[in-house]
A and B are shown apart, each in its own frame.
Chain A
Amino acid sequence: MNNLVYLIPFFPLLGFLINGLFRKSLNKPLIGIIGSGSILASFVVSLLLFFQVKSNGALPVQPLFSFIDVESFKIAFAFQVDQLSSLFLLIITGIGFLIHLYSTSYMHDEPAEHFGRYFAYLNLFVFSMLLLVLGANYVIMFIGWEGVGLCSYLLIGFWFKNNNYNYAAKKAFVMNRIGDLGFLLAVFWILAKLGTVEYYEVFAQTAKLSNADIFGITILLFIGATGKSAQIPLYTWLPDAMAGPTPVSALIHAATMVTAGIYMIARSNILYTMAPVTQVIIAVIGLATAVFAATIALKQNDIKKVLAYSTVSQLGYMFLGLGVGAYTGAVFHVMTHAFFKALLFLGAGSVIHAMGGEQDIRKMGGLAKKMPQTNWTFLVACFAIAGVPPLSGFFSKDEILAAAFEKNSLLYYIGVAGALMTAFYMFRLYAMTFLGQFRGTHEQEHHLHESPAAMTIPLIVLAILAAVGGLIGIPEAILPNAHKLEAFLEPVFEQSTRYVHEAHTVSHSTELMLMGVVTVIIIGVIVAAWRKFSKYQYSDAEETGLGKVLENKWYVDEIYDAVIVNPLLKLAGFLKNVVEKSGIDGIVNGVGRFVGYSARQLRLLQSGQVGNYILFMVLSLVVLFLVFWNETIISEFLKKIF
């Protein structure tokens, strides 16, 4: 039974190889079946393993082969399936399958070759993501970590003929690389101090690490997470990553890859629990990102950009959860967010598909009548992300905010402000897209249609999950012992809970009261946004004041360009034009020129005159004679003779 673990990443790898190698000879239906089928097979295996883990606890580490073996330094290519990774396996393969299924229809207009390339990349992505969560040590996680980064790059730049998309892909790659360096340094640090990178061994030996070591390692790992999971200051790549096909945004940039940072920190939870300073930094950065991105989302007009900033914001909440020690809450939010954000992106994809590529919500409106299924699933997702009980987002967000309240009520209030903004921009998005009058062209209006079943079925499944997914984590304040997820994940975070051993200080009645108040305010915000934007009329009037700043994303991209990118480009230009051209090229070409010149001069010696040659020969002999003139030998010789 344990051998099944290898099958999980094997199927997507196989799908990647078949689709990648034979994309020119396979036809589209077959590519779709191979691409989605491989993920479905992984999902079935993951489900089997999940139930096994649920009943028997974590499986033993499964070494596959020796990856690095130098003297005493050994790293095994090993897989580990415990509660945390089995949960992630389900999210990745389950949602991954739905999105693959959706893609077969969404990408149908692509030529077969690109269709095959798309599914090959997507399968490779799932394979890398599975490596990331299955790895039993940091090195395997890093392989997956880099693999998902690569696939993200490839898929953002999937329509590589558009140069802007290529820039977006490059931006994502470079931003991720900055974070990856932090991750890599942290792994080296662990290796230097403990001599091992296996999770079990590292977490068992945390006592050997000094506080400074733990602080350094956790901060560097967190820098890695800020890159991958789009946190301040490295978040700017994620909104640009919307250049990729919409299902890619749903899978990679909402449901799975961007949560890799949360997975990594949840995996290393004991290290973070032992580093309270890092925890504070994570909580502050997470909260800042959550609120900051939410403010930007308020004023975006591109349907995918709103969702992208919303993703950044929700990831910020997850980091807030990690920072305040609510590891279960963060993982819970990863799960519910995967449901409703994948649903939102797929719904947006369905809308974009119907609108013939239009992404500007100012030019939409009134789609509810034309696209009933997309409409109600999108609405469910909006309620879920806004945190309306009893939909999934309510429970997970509440758990994080409750934990924040326990730590520091200021964190809580700012977090709630962010949550209100979330409700506002989501219903602004919903109302502008689905309600009111249609504001597009007549052609678009004529073309409007509900998406085919391959696209609506994933929407419906995800809508059900987004609606009821939260019920596995009902807080104790509402229903005692109903938090099934916490009980399930308990062994993973056991070490941290033992380390903290802190009792809950907030009474259930306070918690319930806060919950109720926040819910009422959120519903009020939803109603306000609904009423305001369902009557939205298109206008060309430019935003002014704060609105303009928000529409331009606080000018963060411009600031980065001015402070980092342009100076770097200038430096690169200086190196290229001055150092390279006159320095290095000068040396290299100078050597060549010198050899050429001296050869031309020496060539004159070879006159072709026999007399010259003989003269040189005689002169050389005389020179040799003089050089090897040795007084003693000659005089002895002469003495012998005379």
Chain B
Amino acid sequence: MPIQYYIALAACLFCIGIIGVLTRRNAIIIFMCIELMLNATNLLLVAFSKMYHGPAFAADATSTAGIDGQLFVFFIMVVAAAEVSVGLAIIVMMYRNVHSVDINFLNRLKN
């Protein structure tokens, strides 16, 4: 499949994520949208990695060209997992305190 398709898909996912973050007020949905953006980038990284690695591997079986993109994906997944655990914990605490997950309640730092 040509790379353009991957790029277009990733761009769409990313934009959906951004729009979701900007428009929704439910903290969990915002959280999901952030995940969506992260995964859009992951998808792109994998796609570009494959694009570079494929021809290089065909020429030389020992080539490692482009595989660092896939490494980054793993990093991002690990970091995202950690972030999810912290973020969900914050949302749980928030719910306990204000009985809501509406982020507009989170303006207590103002003033």
Contacts and interface: CB of A to CB of B under 8 A. Distances in A.
B93 to A, nearest CB: 16
Given A607-B110, A608-B109, A615 B103 contact: no
| Of listed A606, A610, A618, A641, residue having the most chain B CB within 10 A | A610
| Of listed A608, A611, A641, residue having the most chain B CB within 10 A | A611
B103 A611 contact: yes
A642 B107 contact: no
B88 interface: no
Nearest to B18: A618
Nearest to B111: A608
A635 interface: no
Interface string B31-74: 00000000000000000000100000000000000000000000
Contacts of B22: 611, 614-615, 618
B4 A609 contact: no
A614 B4 contact: no
B21 A641 contact: no
Interface string B71-111: 00000000000000000000000000000000110111111
Interface of A: 606-611, 614-615, 618, 641-642
Nearest to B103: A610
A76 to B, nearest CB: 69
Nearest to B19: A618
Interface string B19-30: 001100100000
B104 A641 contact: no
Contact of B107 (A609, A614, A615, A618): A609
Nearest to B104: A609
Contacts of B104: 609, 611
Interface of B: 3-4, 18, 21-22, 25, 51, 103-104, 106-111
A635 B25 CA distance: 38
A615 B25 CA distance: 13
B107 A608 contact: yes
Contacts of A611: 22, 25, 103-104
Given A607-B107, A609-B107, 17 more contacts: A607-B110, A608-B107, A608-B108, A608-B109, A608-B110, A608-B111, A609-B104, A610-B103, A610-B107, A611-B103, A611-B104, A614-B21, A615-B22, A618-B22, A641-B4, A641-B51, A642-B4
A610 B4 CA distance: 34
10 contacts: A608-B110, A608-B111, A609-B107, A610-B106, A610-B107, A611-B103, A614-B22, A618-B22, A641-B4, A641-B51
B37 to A, nearest CB: 11
Contacts of A608: 107-111
A611 B4 CA distance: 32
Contacts of A610: 103, 106-107
Contacts of B25: 611
A94 B40 CA distance: 103
| Of listed B22, B104, B106, residue having the most chain A CB within 10 A | B22
Contacts of B103: 610-611
| Of listed B107, B109, B111, residue having the most chain A CB within 10 A | B107
Contacts of B111: 608
Nearest to B25: A611
A560 B107 CA distance: 73
A618 B34 CA distance: 13
Given A611-B25, A611-B103, A618-B18, A641 B3 contact: yes
A618 B22 CA distance: 9
Contacts of B4: 641-642
- Counting from the closest, the 10 A-B pairs by CB-CB distance are A608-B110, A608-B107, A610-B103, A615-B22, A614-B21, A641-B3, A609-B107, A618-B18, A610-B106, A614-B22
A475 B3 CA distance: 124
A259 B78 CA distance: 96
A610 B104 CA distance: 7
A608 B3 CA distance: 41
A614 B107 CA distance: 14
Nearest to B106: A610
A585 B54 CA distance: 73
B6 to A, nearest CB: 10
Contacts of B107: 607-610
Nearest to A618: B18
Contacts of B21: 614
A421 to B, nearest CB: 86
Contacts of A606: 110
A614 B27 CA distance: 13
B102 to A, nearest CB: 11
A641 B52 CA distance: 10
Nearest to B23: A611
A642 B103 CA distance: 42
Contacts of B3: 641-642
Nearest to B51: A641
A311 B65 CA distance: 106
Nearest to B109: A608
A642 B110 CA distance: 49
Contacts of A614: 21-22
A482 to B, nearest CB: 99
A611 B103 CA distance: 8
A638 to B, nearest CB: 10
Nearest to B4: A642
A606 B109 CA distance: 11
A182 B22 CA distance: 78
Contacts of A641: 3-4, 51
A618 to B, nearest CB: 6
B79 to A, nearest CB: 19
A610 B90 CA distance: 15
A537 B108 CA distance: 95
Contacts of A618: 18, 22
Nearest to B108: A608
| Of listed B3, B21, B25, B108, residue having the most chain A CB within 10 A | B21
A618 B3 CA distance: 26
A287 B90 CA distance: 100
